[in-house]
A and B are shown apart, each in its own frame.
Chain A
């Protein structure tokens, strides 16, 4: 009926539909709040017989990830989904999934951690497990949520990587908003993800292997080294997957996205849905002749240091927007990472940090415009007066 053939989906529905097309062997998930509609929608596909997935509804998020670890070790293509305090309750096993090198894919709806009690968007849940050894992908809109969920399967299962992947979308802003989505052919998705065959399955009794053993002073360190190497290897292996994704679906992606950054004097670095609002403001500023740009990291772990440095090399003043507070007193996690990356490169733009949007505080074009005004002032004076700022907070 339509030329574009766009389907109205929320971010939650987009994930569930991607999961339907992926048809994983096992999905273990906690079905109640703080779970989102992802699991409800996917359960419908299971109940209707539209997938062959073994669905395991469990009694807690801790059990959800535990069941995923067991299933993935057995060789099943395994997925779950979570959000906010649910992810926090998974914590212990989130680390075990990564250190056991299990390619579990977990869509996460980014929402604030309690307390105080809050159910709205910020990134404190996934940033809290920044160091868990998972690959982190952050999505700008529902279309990306859909595509990245499919992409994540191949990244996780890549032989040089074998790490779990979380695909993050903004709670409510993306997860509960309806947008028009372009969906891929079932067959194309199947071809792209291929068959998954684990190299050392737990249940192969003819070739017995050990998962999750005691690993003390003798070898724990080496295993952690290997985990670090896997994350480094992901930096070179992910582009292979991105290339295949482009070949299959005609969509070209990179670790980062730049928007009008080539000749920009001032730039904002922001992730997820906020980056979309920044684009809107950049367009307005460009019409007024302001050389403003945006840098959006799509993949946050592994940290695409070289790409970020190259993207920022001509920018004179940069503001990094963090939707979580790390309480380091030195700024948010994205800011400190970017600053550290720039240190060795010799590229030293004037840089500042804005913590924003905690607990779902809306970020409007006017807020972003204020950051660009600050950047223009920094550009003029050559000085960053306040490196750490709180955007949209009552002071």
Chain B
């Protein structure tokens, strides 16, 4: 695998940074080289923010932010149309959006004719599994269907390692259930 670059779009407080790190760390467990880093602007809840994950078979020396991502993940649906989420996304690019809309409708909204478009209602899934609107973990699950960068089991292990002590078994399992549900519910065009 050449280097895969993922750009995450969210709003401050929605866990885009955490998602980018979990993906990187799960890939690290499979012996890949990784980078995961947020783009810090004015740090405030609700402000649009980006974070990035790089995964590679060889040492990653580049240290600038990602300009031509292979995959874009939009955690907050209200960012579609308000910022250019497809910026730098190439012909083979994939964009995954948290929305109840179909991939075809999002394609139209984004005016994105290339690559692939995927959608999943991650907010609904997190509400039903975790009881709060925290779509970042389901988005990770959906991402793995779109591109199996790591397996669901590898990601789940990482989630357990991170969450068990912090939020307890019940909520950790709810997060993993959300990941699995999004993996099976994501629609791809």
A: which residues have CB within 8 A of B?
Answer: 1-4, 6, 8, 119-120, 140-141, 170, 172-174, 176-180, 273-274, 276-277, 279-280, 362-366
Given contacts A178-B35, A178-B37, A179-B34, contact A280 B28 (CB under 8 A): no
Docked Cα-Cα span, A140 to B60, in Å, equals 12
Indicate which residue in B21, B36, B37, B63 contacts A276 across the interface (CB closer than 8 Å).
Answer: B63
B38 CB → nearest A CB, Å: 7
Known: A178-B37, A366-B67. 4 other contacts (CB 8 A): A3-B31, A6-B28, A6-B31, A276-B61
**Contact across chains for A8 and B61 when beta carbons are under 8 A apart:** no
Most buried by A among B33, B34, B61, B65: B61
CB neighbours (8 Å) of B67 from chain A are 364, 366
For the complex formed, measure the closest distance between the CB of A157 and the CB atoms of chain B, giving whole angstroms: 31
Residue with the highest number of chain A CB atoms closer than 10 Å, among B33, B63, B64: B63
Number of A-B residue pairs, CB cutoff 8 Å, is: 67
In contact, A362 and B64 (Cβ under 8 angstroms): yes
Whether A364 pairs with B63 at a CB distance below 8 angstroms is no
Q: Does B62 contact A (CB under 8 A)?
A: yes
Q: How far is the CA of A140 from the CA of B63 in the complex (A)?
A: 9
CB-based contact B62/A180 at 8 Å:
no
B103 within 8 A of A: no
Give complex CA distance A154, B33 in Å: 30
Query: Given A2-B29, A180-B33: A365 and B64 within 8 A (CB)?
Result: yes
- 28 A-B residue pairs with Cβ-Cβ distance under 8 Å, sorted by A, are A2-B28, A2-B29, A2-B31, A3-B31, A8-B25, A141-B63, A172-B37, A172-B40, A173-B37, A173-B63, A174-B63, A176-B38, A177-B35, A177-B36, A178-B21, A178-B24, A178-B25, A178-B35, A180-B33, A277-B63, A277-B64, A280-B61, A362-B64, A363-B64, A364-B65, A364-B67, A365-B64, A366-B67
A1 contacts B64, C-beta separation under 8 Å: no
A243 to B33, CA, bound (A): 28
Closest chain A CB from B151 CB (angstroms):
14
Q: Complex: how many Å from CA A120 to CA B65?
A: 14
Interface members, chain B 109-167 (any A CB < 8 Å):
none
Nearest to A173 among chain B residues (CB) is B63
Q: Would you call B30 an interface residue if the criterion is a C-beta within 8 Å of the partner chain's C-beta atoms?
A: yes
Residue of A nearest to B26 (CB): A8
Whether A176 pairs with B40 at a CB distance below 8 angstroms is yes
Q: How far is the CB of B7 from chain A (nearest CB, A)?
A: 14
**Hey, which chain A residues are within 8 Å of B60, CB to CB?**
179
- Contacts A8-B25, A120-B40, A180-B28 hold; do A364 and B35 have CB atoms under 8 A apart? no
Q: Which residue of B lies closest to A281 (CB)?
A: B62
Establish whether residues B31 and A4, one from each chain, have CB atoms under 8 Å apart when the complex forms.
yes
Residues of A within 8 A of B63 (CB): 141, 170, 173-174, 177, 273-274, 276-277
Question: Closest CB-CB distance, A187 to chain B, in whole Å?
Answer: 25
Chain B residues with Cβ under 8 A from A141's Cβ? 61, 63
A391 → B minimal CB distance (Å): 13
Within 8 A of A (CB), among B33-47: 33-38, 40
- The answer to whether B28 and A8 have CB atoms under 8 Å apart is yes
Chain A residue, CB-CB nearest to B29: A2
Known: A8-B24, A8-B25, A178-B24. A362 touches B35 (CB 8 A): no
Q: Are A177 and B62 in touch, CB under 8 angstroms?
A: no
Task: Report A-chain residues with C-beta under 8 Å of the C-beta of B28.
Answer: 2, 6, 8, 180
B130 to nearest A CB, angstroms?
Answer: 24
Report the minimal beta-carbon distance from B183 to chain A, rounded to whole angstroms.
22
**Could you give, for residues 55-84 of chain B, a 1 whenever the CB lies within 8 Å of some chain A CB and a 0 otherwise?**
000001111110100000000000000000
By beta carbon, the residue of chain B nearest A366 is B67
- B65 A362 Cβ-Cβ under 8 A: yes
A276 & B35 in contact (Cβ 8 Å cutoff): no
Please give, as numbers and ranges, the residues of chain B lying within 8 Å of A120 by CB-CB distance.
40
Q: Are B34 and A276 in contact (CB under 8 A)?
A: no
Cβ–Cβ < 8 Å partners of A1 in chain B: 29
Roughly how many angstroms separate A174 CA and B62 CA in the complex, as a whole number? Answer: 11
| Chain B residues in 8 Å Cβ range of A276 | 61-63
Among candidates B21, B30, B40, B61, residue contacting A277 with C-beta atoms closer than 8 Å: B61
CA distance A280 to B25 in the complex (A): 23
Q: Are A364 and B64 in contact (CB under 8 A)?
A: yes
Which B residues are in CB contact (< 8 Å) with A140?
A: 61
- Nearest first, the 10 closest Cβ-Cβ pairs linking A and B are A177-B37, A276-B61, A273-B63, A280-B62, A178-B36, A279-B61, A8-B25, A180-B28, A364-B64, A276-B63
